[in-house]
């Protein structure tokens, strides 16, 4: 079997898994289902992915690659724009991504939870050993910072061009913005629920979210040189 053919079969298996995980959920999906969807024998599936956990880590890796591409393309297409405009484009694109690729986003958040446990020796033992043995898990630990690198560049751009506060520390600021974006996505369901008591619509909340983000990033003073204080956000 040639290299191209092997790569194509890997892509076919991954595409089948993504389709099934999206429709049925990871927990209820079986490798037999993936084999049937991919029109391959289960033995061949196991040749490429050791187990369902390894396959799920491969799907998660694909999700991070798609997210990285979204961040990268937003930055590239924002050439000539102010940093505050580029980060606003990112927020809009991220919200579209979470709605169009819910399973991807869920797998990304799940990996973040796993990584949090992995970083704590007392919790690491609670992680499924099959996940830790996955080569895709190892790759994920190496690439999971890549989207944030582009986000940090957007904040740095805004600080340089004066569209954002000069005292912002780019990495801390971007991770704070990303936290807000994740929170928005997680709370969208309750906000959109018709029988809620809160008098707020999804559209008004989105407008308010972006306005608050701008106020946070712009601040009340523009054009001052940054102070030599590490980790300053506000």
Domain map (residue ranges) of the chain: 1-49, 52-218
Is the predicted pLDDT of residue 225 greater than 60, yes or no?
Answer: no
pLDDT for 195 equals 67
Q: Give the CATH architecture of domain 1-49.
A: Orthogonal Bundle (1.10)
Q: Please report, for residues 53, 62, 75, 105, the alpha-carbon distance to residue 66 in angstroms, rounded to integers and kept in the order given.
A: 20, 6, 14, 10
Q: How far apart are CA 19 and CA 40, in angstroms?
A: 15
Residue 192 is predicted with a pLDDT of 76
For the beta carbon of residue 132, count every other beta carbon within 10 angstroms. 15
CATH of domain 52-218: 1.10.357.10
Residues 34, 13 contacting (CB under 8 angstroms): yes
- The rounded distance, in Å, linking the Cα atoms of 206 and 105 is 19
What pLDDT score does 221 carry? 43
**pLDDT tens digits, residue range 81-128?**
999 999 999 999 999 999 999 999 999 999 999 999 999 999 999 999
What residues have CB less than 8 Å from 100, skipping those under 6 apart?
Answer: none
Q: How many residues does the chain have?
A: 234
Determine the pLDDT at residue 89: 98
Helix and strand counts by DSSP (H, E) for the chain: 12, 0
pTM for this entry: 0.86
User: Which segments of 78-201 does DSSP mark as H helices, in order?
Assistant: 83-100, 102-118, 121-124, 129-132, 135-143, 146-161, 170-192
3-class SS of residue 226: coil
């Amino acid at each position: 079997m040639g290299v191209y053919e092997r790569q194509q079969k890997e892509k076919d298996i991954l595409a089948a898994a993504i389709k099934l995980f999206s429709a049925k959920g990871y927990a209820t999906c079986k490798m037999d289902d993936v084999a049937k969807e991919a029109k391959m024998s289960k033995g061949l599936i196991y040749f490429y992915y050791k187990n369902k956990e390894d396959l799920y880590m491969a799907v998660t890796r694909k999700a991070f690659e798609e997210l990285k591409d979204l961040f990268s393309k937003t930055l590239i297409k924002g050439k000539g724009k102010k940093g505050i405009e580029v980060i606003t484009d990112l927020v809009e694109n991220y919200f579209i991504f979470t709605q169009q690729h819910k399973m991807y986003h869920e797998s990304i958040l799940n990996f973040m939870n796993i990584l949090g446990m992995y970083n704590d020796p007392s919790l690491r033992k609670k992680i499924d050993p099959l996940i830790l043995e996955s080569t895709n898990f190892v790759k994920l630990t190496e690439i999971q910072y890549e989207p944030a690198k582009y986000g940090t560049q957007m904040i740095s751009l805004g600080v340089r061009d004066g569209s954002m506060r000069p005292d912002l520390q780019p990495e801390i600021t971007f991770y704070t913005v990303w936290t807000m974006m994740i929170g928005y996505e997680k709370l969208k369901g309750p906000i959109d629920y018709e029988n809620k008591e809160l008098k707020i619509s999804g559209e008004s909340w989105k407008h308010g979210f972006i306005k608050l983000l701008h106020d946070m990033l712009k601040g009340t003073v523009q054009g001052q040189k940054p102070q030599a204080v590490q980790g300053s956000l506000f």
